[in-house]
Structure 1
Amino acid sequence: MTASIKAVLLGDAMIPSPGFEQAWRKHLGAFGEPLVVGEWEPDWSKLQYRRLEVEKTGPEHETVPDQIVADGADGELLAGLFVPVSSKVMDAMPNLRVVGVSRAGVENVNVAEATSRGIAVFHVMGRNAHAVSDFAIGMMLAEARNIGRAHHAIKTGEWRKTFSNSAIVPEISGRTIGLVGFGYIGSLVAKKLSGFDVRVLVYDPYTAAEVLTEAGVEPASLETVLSESDIVSLHARLSDDNKGMIGAEQIALMKPTAILVNTARAGLIDEPALAEALRENKIAGAALDVFSTEPIPADHPFLDLDNVTLTTHLAGTTADALANSPFLLMADIAALLTGGKPRFLKNPEVLQDPRFAAWLESVKQG
C-alpha cells in the first residue's frame, strides 16, 4: 500500500500538461490522482520571452502561478518544464517536498532555497542531448558550407555562388574541432564527429584528463582549444564563473579561418565582441542558436553580417526529446519514492534533511 501524494502538474506551450499527466499515470499513478493539472504559460511567444527572462535572472521575479494560488496550496509535488519555482511558490505550497523539471537546466528553480526547506529538486540530464549534438554538427556544416545562405539566396531569386568564405571553404575531414564542455552533449558531439576523421580538443575543467583520453579526445586548455581549432563548439552550462568566457581577448586567439558555434547558452559569449570580430573578419564565421535577447532584436548587429548562421533556439527541440522528458522525470521520482536510487536528483543532500526523510518514510509506509 502506498500513500497518496498531492501533485501539481503545470505544463506550458512546449510540453503541455497532458504529457505530464500521462507520465504521472504511468510511473506514479499508484500515488493517486494529481491535485492540479494545468498550463503555466500556454502562449508560445509569451513562453519564449518569459523563460528567457527566468534563465537570465532566476525565478524570483515571476509571480506565483494562478493554479497554485487557487488550488495548489496543499501540493506536495510540483512538476513542469519551465514553471518558475521561487521562494514565493514555496511559501504558497508549505507542504512541498518534491520539485521536478523535465529539462537539464534548473535556472527556473531556486535550488538553494528548496534545499534549505528540505525540498528535493529533480531535473532530467541528457533529455535533449542527441537533439543538441545533432544540431551542433549541423551548424558546423551549415556555416562552413554556406548552406543557409545559399538557401536564402535561392528563395529570394539569386543563384549565389560567392560567399565571404569562398576562398577558404573547408572540408570537415582532417580538421581540428574544439569542444568547450564535455558533459553528455559534448561527449556525443565528439562521438558523432569520429566518422569525420577529425582531431578533437576538449576544454572542461570539471572532467578528468584520463576520462577525456579514454573517450578518444585530447584534453587542452581553453587557450589551446581556441588557438588550434578550425571549429570551436560550446557545450558548457552557464554559471557565474564562465559568463562571458568567450570575449574579445579569447576570440583574438582564434584562427582567421575558424568558426565559432554556440548551441549552449548565449551568456557564454560576449555578443558585441563577437559581432565586431565577424564584421572585421577576425574569424571566418559563427553559427548561433542562442541569444541574450530572444527573439533577436531587429537592430541586432548579427543581422547585418553575411558570415553568421542564425537559428531560433531550436537545438534541443525535437518531438522525441520533448515527448520523452516527462516520462524520464516521473520515472526517476518514482525510483526514489519506491526505495530505488534516482539518477537526476539535483540536491542529494536533502535526503539527510529530517523533514524530507520523515515525509519520504510516510510515503513509503502508506
Structure 2
Amino acid sequence: MKVAILDDYANAALTLADWSTVTARASLHVFNDHLADDEIAEVLAPFDVICTLRERTTISEELIARLLNLKMIVVTDPRVTTIDYAAATAAGILVSEGRAPDSLPYSPAATPEFAWGLLLATVRHLAAESQRLRQGQWQHTLGLTLAGRTLGLVGLGRIGTRMARYAQAFDMRVIAWSRNLTDDAAREAGAVRVDKQDLFAQSDIVSIHYVLGERSRGLVGAREIAAMKPTAYLVNTSRGPVVDEAALVAALRERHIAGAGLDVFDEEPLPRDHPLNGLDNVTLTPHLGFVTEDNMRRFHAGAALAVAAYLDGRPAHILNPEALMHKRPS
C-alpha cells in the first residue's frame, strides 16, 4: 500500500503527527513541493491513498480518471471545493475526512490574527522597508495611521467579527457589508451596515472575509475597486477569486488605489511571472492565513488517523458513502 501526503510545504507532517501505525503497514511519501498539472498524474499514479491539505491541490475528474490505483482521498476540511466528489464516487474512490482528536482543536483566531498582521504590514510598508534595510538603505515610505480611519469588512462572519473587534482596539470606525447582513447583526459585532458600493467608497482599508462560491466569485470587481479612494488599501485573506484579479492589478498598476495586501490568489502557488510580483505597492504572502503549528498539528493528526482506519479495514468519516457500492479492490 502506498500513501502520499501532498503539499507539505513546511515539511511538518511527519513531526506534527504520529504516522507509526501507517508506516508499519504502508509506504509513506511526503511531497513538500506543489505538483504541477503536467506532472501530477504520472507522479501520483502508484499511490493507493492521497492525503490533501485544505485546497492546495485540485483532484479533478480528469486526474481521477488517470489514477487507476487510487482508492481513498483524505481531506482535512469537508467543505473543500477542489475535490470532484462525483467523479471520485463513480470511480469507487472513498473521500474521508481526517478528524483529529478533540484534544487538538482548530484555532479560529489563526486567520483573523494573520489578516490583521497583513493589514498592518501593508499600510506601514513593512516588507518593502525590511528589504531596503537588508540592502543597506534606510526608511523611504510614509505609513498610514489606523486610529480614526475607516475599516470596511466584506463579510462579517466569524473572521470578520474578530476583525471588527481588533479594529475597535485600534480606534477605527468599522463598516460592513454582506448579502444577508442585518443592521442588528452588524451592530452586535461593533460595525455599521452599509450598502456594498458605499463600503468601498468610504473605507480607508477594505478587508475581504467572504466564503468562495458561485455567487461570490468576482464579488469585488472593477466597479467596486473604482469606487475606492486613491489613498485606500485592499486586503484579501479569504480566497483569490472573490476579487477580480485583473481589475485589481490594473488599479494597483495605475495607482488608482494606494496598495493591497494579498494572501490568496486565483492560481496558487503564485507563478513567478505573475504581474503582481512586479508591483511595488502590494504586499504578498503565500496563503498563510490558517497556517499555524496548532492547526497543522490537527490537520496531520486527523489525516494519519484516517489512513490508519483505512488500513484497518474500517474507513471512517466517509463523505461519499455511495462510493462503497463501486469500491475498488485493495
Q: Which aligned runs of 4 or more in structure 1 are off by greater than 6 angstroms?
A: 115-118, 123-126, 329-334, 353-356
In structure 2, the CA distance between the partners of 1:322 and 1:259, relative to structure 1 (3 Å rule), is same
Does the aligned pair in 2 maintain the 1:9–1:21 contact within 8 Å? no
- Matching residue within 234, 255, 276 for 1:302: 276
SS of aligned partner of 2:266: coil
Deviation at 1:284, TM superposition (A): 1.4
Structure 2 stretches lacking a partner, 5+ long: 309-315
Report the Cα distance in structure 2 between the residues aligned to 1:66 and 1:118, rounded to whole angstroms: 14
Letter aligned with residue 151 of structure 1: S
Q: Does 2:192 correspond to 1:196?
A: no
Does the aligned pair in 1 maintain the 2:152–2:199 contact within 8 Å? yes
Residue aligning to 1:11: 5
In structure 2, the CA distance between the partners of 1:292 and 1:79, relative to structure 1 (3 Å rule), is closer
Q: How high is the TM-score relative to the length of structure 1?
A: 0.66
Does the aligned pair in 1 maintain the 2:156–2:177 contact within 8 Å? yes
- Which one has more relative contact order, counting CA pairs under 8 Å at least 6 apart? 2
Q: Does 2:1 correspond to 1:22?
A: no
Moved more, 290-299 or 233-242: 290-299
Report the Cα distance in structure 2 between the residues aligned to 1:89 and 1:294, rounded to whole angstroms: 23
- Matching residue within 205, 213, 220 for 1:246: 220
Q: Does 2:145 correspond to 1:145?
A: no
Quick check: which one's helix share is greater?
1
Residue aligning to 2:312: none
Residue aligning to 1:265: 239
The Cα offsets for residues 193-232 of structure 1, whole Å up to 9 and x where unpaired, read as 3321323222233566644433333333322321221111
Letter aligned with residue 155 of structure 1: R
Does the aligned pair in 2 maintain the 1:137–1:189 contact within 8 Å? yes
- Matching residue within 162, 178, 194 for 2:152: 178
The Cα offsets for residues 154-212 of structure 1, whole Å up to 9 and x where unpaired, read as 11222233x3xx4xx43212222112233433333233333213232222335666444
Report the Cα distance in structure 2 between the residues aligned to 1:172 and 1:272, rounded to whole angstroms: 28
Moved more, 278-287 or 250-259: 278-287
RMSD between aligned residues: 4.2
Moved more, 250-259 or 272-281: 272-281
Q: Does 2:40 correspond to 1:65?
A: no
Aligned ranges 1:305-344 → 2 under 5 Å: 305-327=279-301
Report the Cα distance in structure 2 between the residues aligned to 1:63 and 1:225, rounded to whole angstroms: 48
Does the aligned pair in 2 maintain the 1:230–1:257 contact within 8 Å? yes
Deviation at 1:67, TM superposition (A): 4.4
Aligned ranges 1:120-159 → 2 under 5 Å: 122=97, 127=106, 129-159=108-138
Report the Cα distance in structure 2 between the residues aligned to 1:267 and 1:354, rounded to whole angstroms: 31
Structure 1 stretches lacking a partner, 5+ long: 1-6, 26-31, 55-60, 335-341, 360-366
Report the Cα distance in structure 2 between the residues aligned to 1:86 and 1:271, rounded to whole angstroms: 23
Q: Does 2:139 correspond to 1:160?
A: yes
SS of aligned partner of 2:109: helix
Letter aligned with residue 4 of structure 2: L
Report the Cα distance in structure 2 between the residues aligned to 1:149 and 1:175, rounded to whole angstroms: 23
Deviation at 1:233, TM superposition (A): 1.0
Deviation at 1:256, TM superposition (A): 1.7
Moved more, 150-159 or 199-208: 199-208
Residue aligning to 1:42: 31
Report the Cα distance in structure 2 between the residues aligned to 1:206 and 1:8, rounded to whole angstroms: 46
Report the Cα distance in structure 2 between the residues aligned to 1:159 and 1:21, rounded to whole angstroms: 43
Does the aligned pair in 1 maintain the 2:258–2:281 contact within 8 Å? yes
Moved more, 213-222 or 133-142: 213-222
Letter aligned with residue 265 of structure 1: R
Report the Cα distance in structure 2 between the residues aligned to 1:244 and 1:65, rounded to whole angstroms: 33
Letter aligned with residue 11 of structure 1: I
Residue aligning to 2:311: none
Deviation at 1:307, TM superposition (A): 2.0
